[in-house]
């Protein structure tokens, strides 16, 4: 049975975006619509929201949650990687805030037949939505041993990646989560650490199936381009109406967070050619200001009431 998704770092997201009347906002990962509802409530009476999700089930749920705001929302089944195209479709030139709450929702994890969880036996699917071309079973059964080992190592940061890849290839075909768990458990027994031996392999397959890291890399420049510029003279410390738009990203594992952090750092500094540098790089001014240098993490209280929030990291930038 589906569990409603509890929005992570909810107050922090609202505080980051400071939604205001008349503002335009994008939730690129709508899920159950928790963050979206907060944005709409904080921007009464006429703030608008464009919500995207690749998962038709999430969209249906969000439609219900957001029914009271029907006049102020556009909800679209689409990837956030199509952000620029979606904005153009609605004639939105610039927006005041964008939130990306990455990864899977509780509804996805807790619906056994979606195949995200090694705690239930189900077909090995793991697609966030029908637009993803391959299922986890396709990857597990079609990739070479080398490709599987690289994938599990890179996206799962799994030390036993080679052993696991070899065992998978020997046991193929593998169609269900249970079959995969049994194969992993046989070669990678539980160590002293708390996590189940299949955790990292499942994470790696989910990232690969949904091309999560490539999607983040694709959306970040589009998001920055879509944010309203800060008018001359205003500062991040003294936010006024009409100050630069903000992008808030919540990530749940180090690979995602590193991608977001590196992009934000890069865009937050002026690029100047050092004297005597052989290679000429294009000079450019910083486009962003990091609102928080260190990521914001959930309080102990939030983690207690929602253990899935424990690895969340929130980074916020403002358009200059």
Ligand X SMILES: C[S@@+](CC[C@H](N)C(=O)[O-])C[C@H]1O[C@@H](n2cnc3c(N)ncnc32)[C@H](O)[C@@H]1O
Q: For residues 115 and 138, is the Cβ–Cβ distance under 8 A?
A: no
To the nearest whole angstrom, how small is the minimum distance from the Cβ of residue 265 to ligand X?
Answer: 23
Minimum CB distance to ligand X smaller for 83 or for 137: 83
Residues pairing with 315 in the sheet: 249
Closest to ligand X by CB, 18 or 77: 77
User: Contact at 8 Å (CB) between 157 and 253?
Assistant: no
Nearest distance from residue 290's CB to ligand X, in Å?
Answer: 22
Closest contact distance (angstroms) between CB of 24 and ligand X is 18
Q: Which residues pair with 251 in a beta bridge?
A: 313
Query: Please, which residue, 128 or 143, has the CB nearer to ligand X?
Result: 128
Long-range contacts of 131-137 (CB under 8 A, 24+ apart): 131/54, 131/79, 132/54, 132/209, 132/210, 132/211, 134/209, 135/209, 136/205, 136/206, 136/209, 137/174, 137/175
Query: Nearest-CB residue to ligand X?
Result: 31
Q: Which residue's CB is nearer to ligand X, number 35 or number 200?
A: 35
Q: 180 or 248: whose CB is closer to ligand X?
A: 248
List the helix and strand counts (H, then E) for the chain: 13, 7
What does residue 128 show for φ and ψ, rounded to 5 degrees? -65, -30
19 preceded by a cis bond (ω within 30 of 0):
no
Runs of H (alpha helix) within 66-172: 83-89, 106-110, 136-142, 145-156, 161-171
- Shortest Å, Cβ 97 to ligand X: 14
By the criterion CB under 6 A, which residues form the site for ligand X?
A: 5, 7, 28-29, 31-35, 52-55, 58, 79-81, 101, 103, 105, 128, 210, 215
Q: What is the dihedral of CA 57, 40, 11, 206, to 10 degrees?
A: 20
Nearer to ligand X, 100 or 288 (CB): 100
Place of tokens 């790089």: 281
Name the minimum Å distance from CB 93 to ligand X: 21
Length of the chain: 320
CB of 96 to ligand X, least distance (A): 18
Closest distance of CB 169 from ligand X, Å: 29
**Residue 167 in contact with residue 185, Cβ under 8 Å?**
no
Cβ-based nearer residue to ligand X, 26 or 165: 26
């Amino acid at each position: 049975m589906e569990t409603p998704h509890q929005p992570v770092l909810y107050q922090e997201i609202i505080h980051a975006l400071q939604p205001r009347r008349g503002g335009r906002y994008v939730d690129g990962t709508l899920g159950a619509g928790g963050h979206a509802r907060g944005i709409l409530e904080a921007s009464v009476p006429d703030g608008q929201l464009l919500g995207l999700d690749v998962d038709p089930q999430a969209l249906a749920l969000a439609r219900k949650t957001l029914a009271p705001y029907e006049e102020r929302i556009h909800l679209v089944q689409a990837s956030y990687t199509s952000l620029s195209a979606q904005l153009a479709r609605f004639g939105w030139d610039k927006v005041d805030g964008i939130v990306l709450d990455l990864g899977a929702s509780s509804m996805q994890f807790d619906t056994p037949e979606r195949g995200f969880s090694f705690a239930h036996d189900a077909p090995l699917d793991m697609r966030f939505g029908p637009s993803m071309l391959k299922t986890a079973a396709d990857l597990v059964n079609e990739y070479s041993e080398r490709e599987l080992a690289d994938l599990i190592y890179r996206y799962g940061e799994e030390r036993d990646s080679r052993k696991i890849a070899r065992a998978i290839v020997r046991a193929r075909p593998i169609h269900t989560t249970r079959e995969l768990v049994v194969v992993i458990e046989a070669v990678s027994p539980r160590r002293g650490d708390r996590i189940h031996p299949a955790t990292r392999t499942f994470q790696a397959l989910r990232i690969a199936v949904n091309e999560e890291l490539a999607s983040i890399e694709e959306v970040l420049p589009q998001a920055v381009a879509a944010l309203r510029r800060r008018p001359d003279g205003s500062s991040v410390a003294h936010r006024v109406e009409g100050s630069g738009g903000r992008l808030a990203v919540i990530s749940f594992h180090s690979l995602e967070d590193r991608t977001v952090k590196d992009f934000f750092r890069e865009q937050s500094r002026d690029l100047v050619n050092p004297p005597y540098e052989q290679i000429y790089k294009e000079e450019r001014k910083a486009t962003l200001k990091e609102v928080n240098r260190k990521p914001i993490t959930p309080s102990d209280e939030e983690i207690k009431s929602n253990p899935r929030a424990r690895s969340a990291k929130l980074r916020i930038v403002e358009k200059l």
